[in-house]
Amino acid sequence: MEILKNSLIILTTSIGLVFIVVTAVGLIRLPDVYSRTHAASKSATLGVMFILLGVFLHFWLIKDEVNTRLLLGIAFLFMTGPVGGHVIGRAAYLSGVPMWKHSVKDDLGPYLKEQKKAHRQSID
């Protein structure tokens, strides 16, 4: 039983660690801001959530103490991490950071142009 508990804790913590390493590699290797926020927001959130789950399991199974703050932290990260990535990417797009030169599709650009035109007409 003890071995099972320990291996569960080690498994969750190592999965989290692998995801964080993947994040770091993605931040170095990916070409532009948008793909880098994609790497940072998704896999870093999942990695930290797995590590927090491992810490929660350690305190619960080994130390016999249910720490609800860790569960709250997991829920909080699950909600806020991707939103942080979204806001960074959106701010970058709105301030005109160029996309990677091999990008093929840009749906937000024409929509924003239309909005700007409508805004200008409403002023005039």
Partner 1 sequence: MKTNDVILQTTANIVFFIIFLFSIHIFFAGHYAPGGGFVGGLLTSSAIVLLLLAYDLKTISTALPINYVVMTAIGLLIAITTAAASIMFNMPFFTHAYDYYDLPLLGKQSLHSAMAFDLGVYLVVVGVTMTIIQTIGADD
Residues that bind partner 1 (CB under 8 A): 69, 72, 75-76, 79-80, 83, 86-87, 94, 115-116, 119
What lies within 8 Å, CB to CB, of 80 at 6+ separation is none
The closest of 103, 12, 100 to 54, measured between CA atoms, is 12
CB of 83 to partner 1, least distance (A): 5
Task: Record the tokens describing residue 107, joined without a space.
Answer: 């749906």
**Residue placing its CB nearer to partner 1 in the complex, 6 or 67:** 67
User: If you count them, how many residues does the chain have?
Assistant: 124
CA triple 85-91-96, angle to 5 deg: 130
CB of 37 to partner 1, least distance (A): 14
**Rounded Cα–Cα distance for residues 9 and 52 (Å):** 10
Shortest Cβ 76–partner 1 spacing (Å)? 6
Closest contact distance (angstroms) between CB of 6 and partner 1 is: 27
**Nearer to partner 1 (CB atom), residue 29 or residue 116:** 116
**Considering beta carbons, is residue 26 or 73 the nearer one to partner 1?**
73
